[in-house]
Structure formats: C-alpha cells, structure tokens
Amino acid sequence: MKKWLFCLPLATNALFGMVSRTEVNVSDRWNIEDLYATPDVWQKELSSIATNSTTPYFPELSQYKGKLHESVENLQKTIVTNFALERKVTKLGLYAHLRHHEDMANADAKADDEKISRLIQDLIQETAWIQPEILSLPEKKFTEYLEHPLLAEYRTLLLKLYEQKKHFRTEKEEELMALALSAMGTASRTFSALDNADFQFGQVQDSTGNWHELTHATYLLLLQSEDRVLRKNAFMAMLNKYSEHENSLTELMAGTVKSHLFMAKARHYNSCLEAALKPKDIDPQVYYSLIEAVRSRISLYHRYLKIRKTALGVDELHSYDLFVPFIPEQNRRYSFEEAQELVIESVKPLGAEYTKQLAKGIKSDRWVDRYENKNKRSGAYSASCYDSMPYILMNFSGDLHDVFTLAHESGHSMHSLLSRQNQPYHYADYAIFVAEVASTHNEELLHKMLVNRAQSDAEKAYLIDQRIEEIVGSIFMQTKLAEFELFVHQAEEKGIPITAKLLRDKHEELNRFYNGPDLVLDPEAGIGWSRIPHLHKNFYVYQYATGISAALSLSDGVLNGTDLDRERYLQFLSAGSSDTPLEILAKAGCDMRTSKPVHRALDRFESLVYELEQLMQKISAREEAPSCENG
C-alpha cells in the first residue's frame, strides 16, 4: 500500500500567538480546498469508493482473486485496479490527515482521519492476497508474464517483488498480518496523541520574573534566548514533563519495538534492522558504516563544543547552552515573505524552470500552512499524494532557523513534484532513504548564498555557526539516536526487558560519548530519547545523516561543477523509485554504498569549524585592540 509522504518534523517556533484555526487568514493556510472543496465533498467521494457495508469492501478487486494463473490479462487488470483504488484512497487520506493536523483537538477532523485510516487498513487487508498469489506462480509462468507487453511498465516492480519472495507468507498469513497492522501502530499513535495534544508544558520564568508560554513550538525559541535562566527553566520544564511519564513512555517505546520484531520474525528476517532496510534495497552495512565513520571522528564535534563554551564565556557548558547563538546581535527576524524570496533566490543554480515552479508553489499556489495556531501539529513536514500539490506544514516564527526550514521543506516538495511529473503512479514515490537529500541540498544552497552576501566577519561567523548546528543535528545527533534505536531493538531481540532504567542509562552513556568532556550532562537529559517521535518510525533517523552526507556532495557539483552535474541532480529529483535508491544516487554522482560521502560531509564540517575558529579569533582580537582617540 503506497502512502502520501510525510517528512521531517522539525522543531519550530511561535511568534504570532496561539490563535484558533478559524482566525488564521486564508492566505496563510495551505490550499486544502484544491483537494476537496469541503468536508462534505470529501465524504461523498469516500462513500463512492467504500460502497459495500460488509466485506468485500472492494469487489472490483476480489473478482480476480485466485485467477492470476489463468492469464496475464487477469494480472494486468489486478494491478491496474489496485493502483486506481490506492490512488483514490491516498488522496482521501491526505486530506483527512491535513485537516487533523490543522487542529488536533477538532473531533470531526480526528474522526475523519480515523475513518480513512480504517479504510486504508481494509484495503491493505483485501489486497493482502495479491503479492502471495503473484509469488505462487510457477517460475516459468512468472517469466512468461514478465516478458508480456501488457506488463512492460510494471517489470521493475514485479522483479523487485520476486526478489523478496522468501519474505512473503501464505495468503491467509498475509491477511492476518494486514489485520494486525492497525493494532501494532497503537503505541506510535498514542505517543503522538500524548505529545501533540495531551502534554501541556505551562509557563516558565526568565531572570527578571517574567513568564513565557512553553510549547513544542516555543521551546527552541526559548533555548535561543540570551537569558540563561530562561533557557535553563525551559529545558528543565520540558524534560521534566516527559520524566513524569517516563514509565508510560517506556512502555510505548517497548510496544513499538515489539511490533517491529514481530514483523521481522514473520517475514523471516534475521533482525529488525534487516527487516526495516532490506525491503527498501538498503544494505544494513550502510547503517553500521555510518555509526563507525561518525564515531571515528567524534573529536570534531568536541572541538566545536570547546569553541561554543569559550564564546559563551561560561564555566560549565550545559545542554540548554547548545542553541543560543554565539553572536546575538546577528539573530535578526524575517517575515515569511522575506523568507520566500531568499529561498527562491538560493535555488537559481538549479535552473529557471525549477526556480519558477518553486516560486509559484510557495507564493501563489499556497503550498504552505505558515503559522502556529492552537492545537496545530508541531514541527514541519512536506506531504503530498500523486494527485495533489506538495503541501508544507510549518510553524513559522521569523528566525533564521525558520528560513532554513522553508528551504528544507521546499526541497522535499520539489522532489515530490518532479518525481510525479516524470514518473507514472507506481514509480512516483521516492524512497525515504533519499528523501533527506533534496531538502538538505537546498539548505546548503541557501547557506552558501547567505555566507557569500555577508557584510561582516560577525555575520559570516553567525551563519557558519548556524550551518554547523544543522550538521551537528543531522549527523552527530541523529547518529547518536540511530545507535540508541539499534540498541533498543537488539535488546528486544535478545529478550532483555526494556525498562525505563535501561533506556535512561543507555541514553546517558551515548550522551557522554557523543558530547565529550566539555558538556555537563544534566540528569534531566537522560529522558531526552522519549520526546523524539521518529524513534517510533522503524529505523528512520539514520537517514538524516546519510541524506545530508549525499546532499553536501551533490550540492558541490551543482554549485562548482558543470551543466552535466546539475542535469544529473535534476534527473535524481525526477527518478522517483524507478530504480533502487542507492543506484539512483550513484547515477547522480554519489555512491552511498561506501563511507566516502559521510567522510566528505565530516570534512565539510571540519572546514566550517576551522573557518569559525579563525573568524572568532579575528573578532576577539578586534574587540581587544586599544582604540585611538584624538585628545
């Protein structure tokens, strides 16, 4: 079952107040009406698809069940009918999901989202027979079918399916596993409900006694404050809320991991990691190589933390000191319109057509839901289906981080748009493994443009530090989480009970290694794992690190290479899933089958750290130099 693509929840900030959804200007909302004019229209479309009140809900598919061996025509009609239904249901699902995320306390929107989720599960259940029946075809007949002109456009898809033959079960077993999917997602959905709707973080005081509202969206904004008391209070209040529910959150994590292990065993994989990566054509060695490469050069991050500690002038560096800018006076504000123009200008190296389509999307077509409102889902993502514009959810507050978030999500959206413009439905969704490449690539284009335009050493230092922080978050911190995720799954595989103490101890151990001697580890940081939603997504976080590694390599070609380098990158954006993700990247000039791209990214990080050191020394020397005055 194909799904609309949701990518990259990022922490964002609130500046415009917690207004209700109905108070948000239409121009600031995404154009959800382009999908369905009203919820009533959506409901009518839903009713037209799910016409039966009892099984089979989709009789147009069931008529071919048990008949694929009879003719290639039956197989072709099954595939066409299946994809047509998927296409309609995913469009319905996207609309319901977007409405739910506009206001997660809206009972009607929540009910519609649950309704379409059940329909999706029904479709998965009723189509569970298709793959086993295809795989049960005698090899000779399968080969004959594969060479038939009727199936020419599905050849790659069918070959990939056949390669996974040993991991599929009988029809009845596949049906049972499909039935189990919804139940096994309960832990993840419960975490999301707690995190986005139920948890209330209250208010925190600054050093002057003023109170500030603490939400997911304001959290990073408060950690960027020059007021260290406010930063500390926000950090403690946020993590203490998770500590209050540590045992429940542990059980939810254990439930997620148990579901992953169930599916791994049911599919005859040797491990949860293999079960998560192999079906996506990713060698698990990519995961291990990432961890090994980052661990081997962790001293680069420790070197950066020394710079931060010195620049802040603190005796002890704490976790709540990691986001405040070195040079506060450079922390200017941006309107959303200014952010749009910067992002559009930065992508011009990708050509006039790319730039034109992006500008139209974020300026006039209303791809973007811009600002936070009450009960809106936190973070940011790009979401779309084959028959929609690529929507962007944001909680824009106006700092530089939000400008980069817009560049990031715009990269996703253009990747989705170009893939769908150039691929048929069944090859249009690109693999999650390559999803982070386009987004981080556009961040790199924006960063280099802003550095080249910097008017002073202070501004350049500020921008370089911001880029360093992005690489820290994407490579070092996500690799740390990837290690944590691997540990938890391996513990479950070995029968080791997943307890709150086990998770806290492991997270603290990894914090000590990754952050080094210059960061004081506050006890509250041990619960930090529990607020990461992507740890419920089955080996997702490592792709931030592999994605930025590929992006840094490819962006260098776009900016400093030839027209062919740019064209190969645009072909990568247009490839969808027409080949394996590793092969698609290799054709673009980045071979992730080796650790070279990760080391190239770490080389880039090292050069940025060195440049920052030089700039900070120049700024410091200038500040300490005696002034000359005429007396």
pLDDT tens for each residue of 78-119: 999 999 999 999 999 999 999 999 999 999 999 999 999 989
More confident residue, 558 or 168: 558
Cβ neighbours of residue 519 under 8 Å, at least 6 residues apart? 305, 317, 318, 319, 322, 511
Question: Residue 93 is encoded by which pair of tokens?
Answer: 């699902």
From its phi and psi, is residue 318 left (phi > 0), alpha (psi between -120 and 50) or beta? beta
Rounded-to-integer distance, Cα 315 and Cα 359, Å: 47
Tokens encoding 502: 């086990």
**Is 73 an active-site residue?**
no
Report pLDDT digits (tens) over 201-212: 999 999 999 999
Q: What is the pLDDT of residues 539-576, one digit of tens each?
A: 999 999 999 999 998 998 899 889 999 999 999 999 99
Predicted TM-score (pTM) of the model is: 0.81
CA dihedral 408, 411, 415, 418 (to 10 degrees): 160
Determine which one of 133, 409, 485, 492 is catalytic. 409
| Distance between start and end Cα atoms, the chain | 81
pLDDT of residue 631: 36
pLDDT, position 487: 98
The overall average pLDDT reported for the chain is 91
Give yes or no for residue 3 having a pLDDT over 80. no
Whether the pLDDT of residue 314 is over 70: the answer is: yes
Cα(180)–Cα(263) distance, integer angstroms: 10
CA distance 451 to 446: 9
527 touches 239 (CB < 8 A): yes
Whether the Cβ atoms of residue 215 and residue 207 lie closer than 8 Å to each other: no
Would you call 400 exposed, middle or buried from its count of C-beta atoms within 10 A (0-12, 13-18, 19+)?
buried
Beta-carbon contacts of residue 570 (< 8 Å; ≥ 6 apart): 350, 351, 354, 418
Least Cα distance to 560 among 615, 591, 604, 592 occurs for 604
Identify each DSSP E strand in 276-337 by its residue range: 317-318
Angstrom distance (rounded) from CA 307 to CA 619: 13
Nearest one of 567, 612, 608 to 587, comparing CA atoms: 567
Give the CATH number of domain 27-184; options: 1.20.140.70, 1.25.50.10, 1.10.3720.10, 2.40.50.140.
Answer: 1.20.140.70
pLDDT the model gives residue 217: 81
Q: Is the pLDDT of residue 369 over 90?
A: yes
- State pLDDT tens for residues 271-281: 999 999 998 89
Tell me what the mean pLDDT of segment 515-535 comes to.
93
| Distance separating alpha carbons of residues 243 and 259, to the nearest angstrom | 24
Query: Is the pLDDT score of 283 beyond 80?
Result: yes
Instruction: Please indicate whether residue 357 or residue 120 has the higher confidence score (pLDDT).
Output: 357
Residue ranges of the alpha helices (H) in 454-499?
457-471, 478-493
Query: For 474, which DSSP code?
Result: I
Q: Which residues contact 374 (CB under 8 A, 6 or more apart)?
A: 18, 19, 20, 21, 103, 105
For strand 368-369 and strand 391-393, is the pairing parallel, antiparallel, or unpaired? parallel
Alpha carbon distance 359, 406 (integer Å): 12
- 184 burial level (CB within 10 Å; 0-12, 13-18, 19+): middle
Amino acid at position 107, single letter: A
Q: How many CA atoms lie within 13 A of 537 on its CB side?
A: 16
- Residue 137 and residue 71 in contact, taking contact as beta carbons nearer than 8 Å: no
pLDDT of residue 511: 96
What's the rounded mean pLDDT across residues 302-317?
94
